[in-house]
Amino acid sequence: MTVVLISKSSRVSAGLDGEATSATDFAAQTWRLDAACQGVSADLFYPEKGGSTREAKAVCQACPVRIQCLDFALANGERFGIWGGTSEPERRLLRRNLGLPPLSEAV
């Protein structure tokens, strides 16, 4: 089991502190410039159904902005791909454990 620590800023961006922030604001996405996935084929992070996510998650494990990436995915209801080292089913479980609304209600 992977334990994910969610930062204070992510709790705000995900709406856990009662305040919503615009995660689509460019300034809020400057973390992407430091992402370990820069220059890596996007296909790695969007495997075919039943395909392995191991390689994508390995890239994420070494990423200095993994938490910001996961924050973004949770705040924006990303339904596809590997974000912050998590798959969509893992993010769904994380949303439930954090008390966030299901994606059908969140976006």
Mean pLDDT of the chain: 79
Answer with the residue of higher pLDDT: 101 or 56.
Answer: 56
Residue 24: predicted pLDDT? 52
Residue 25: predicted pLDDT? 62
Confidence of residue 1 (pLDDT cuts 50, 70, 90): very low
The residue type found at 55 is E
DSSP structural state of residue 101: P
Output the six-digit token pair for 23.
Answer: 């995660």
pLDDT at 7 over 50: no
39: three-class secondary structure by DSSP: coil
pTM of the model: 0.71
In this structure, the number of other CB atoms found within 10 A of the CB of residue 43 comes to 10
pLDDT in tens, 52-99: 999 999 999 999 999 999 999 998 889 999 999 999 999 999 999 988
Strand-pairing partners, residue 83, are 86
Owner of token pair 């938490």: 67
